[in-house]
Structure 1
Amino acid sequence: MLNKVGTYYKIDWNMEAFFIIARFQNTGVGRQVAKQIWQMHKGLWEVAVIPENKPALIFWRKVINEFTKGNYLEEVKLVQMSDYKAERVIFEFGANIL
């Protein structure tokens, strides 16, 4: 699921939720779908990951690195949730390719 609410006001797109059913995980489907979404929605992107979710961190780091050819930012931020703050690994990158 996409939205336009990031941790930084200049973000054009935020990957709020992304899920591939178990049967298709580790088959390349997730990578293809993510890249297609970024190609369809140009602009400055943000993907936030819960630091403890190691498989998600590995996936996003790999896919974003491939898509951007290493041209992305990765940082840990405290993010304001509805009534608390939570630590997130934030990936920020541009999808202005082609």
Structure 2
Amino acid sequence: MTVSLNPISKDEKHILKNLYSLYLHDLSEYTEGLDISTDGLFEFDSFELIWKTEGLTPYFLKKNKTIVGFLLLLESPFLKKDYDYSINDIFILKKYRRKGIAISLLKVLFKQKKGSYFVVELAKNIPAVIFWRKIFSELNIDFEEKKKIVDDEECLVQSFQIT
């Protein structure tokens, strides 16, 4: 299995927008803050900022050249000096989940980008919490976890170092 992280070009943003709708649909199960729009999509309010803001980098996650999801990485200058990176969003299409693709892709990312990271999950999103704890365990990553209110939602924030 060949997995890769591929930066998304502005010409491909329509594909990412479609994937974001699926991602937000999945998240809507865990929060009252997400609703479908009048055109039948779940929309990311700040989607256009991805293309206008330095330090927001979207990647397609691919398995054997097929798009299986996306990852939005935050880094400097968008992030302040406390952390080098944040995996803001990671989404794998249901067909490709639980097949080791995500851990393989994160290994690629962590090999390319070393430094201090944080991730945030909605506390009610138990599958995401389990996912990240499994990643930390399988990759032998020590992490610190704190509960925090983010946008009026109880979240878990995990911080860790990749060396």
Alpha carbons of 1:15 and 1:70: their partners in 2 closer, same or farther (altered >3 Å)? closer
Q: Secondary structure at the match of 1:58?
A: helix
Task: Determine the structure 2 residue equivalent to 1:77.
Answer: 148
2:114 corresponds to 1:42: yes
Report the Cα offset of residue 22 of structure 1: 1.1
Q: Are the aligned partners of 2:147 and 2:157 in contact in 1 as well (CA < 8 Å)?
A: yes
Structure-2 separation of matches of 1:65 and 1:11: 21
Percentage of pairs with the same residue: 26
Task: Determine the structure 2 residue equivalent to 1:13.
Answer: 85
Alpha carbons of 1:78 and 1:9: their partners in 2 closer, same or farther (altered >3 Å)? farther
Report the Cα offset of residue 70 of structure 1: 4.7
Structure-2 separation of matches of 1:24 and 1:70: 24
Tell me, which stretches of 5 or more residues in structure 1 are unaligned? none
Q: Are the aligned partners of 1:65 and 1:72 in contact in 2 as well (CA < 8 Å)?
A: no
Structure-1 separation of matches of 2:137 and 2:83: 18
User: Where does structure 1 differ by over 3 angstroms across 4 or more consecutive aligned residues?
Assistant: none
What TM-score, normalized to structure 1? 0.81
Letter in 2 for 1:49: E
2:98 corresponds to 1:26: yes
Number of residue pairs the alignment of both structures matches:
90
Q: Secondary structure at the match of 1:75?
A: strand
Q: Are the aligned partners of 2:141 and 2:160 in contact in 1 as well (CA < 8 Å)?
A: no
Q: Which has the higher contact order (CA 8 A, sep 6+)?
A: 1
User: Could you give the per-residue CA deviations for residues 45-82 of structure 1, whole angstroms, max 9, x where no partner exists?
Assistant: 00100111111110101102222x25111111123x4x
What TM-score, normalized to structure 2? 0.51
Structure-2 separation of matches of 1:78 and 1:9: 21
Tell me, which stretches of 5 or more residues in structure 2 are unaligned? 1-71
Q: CA RMSD in A?
A: 1.8
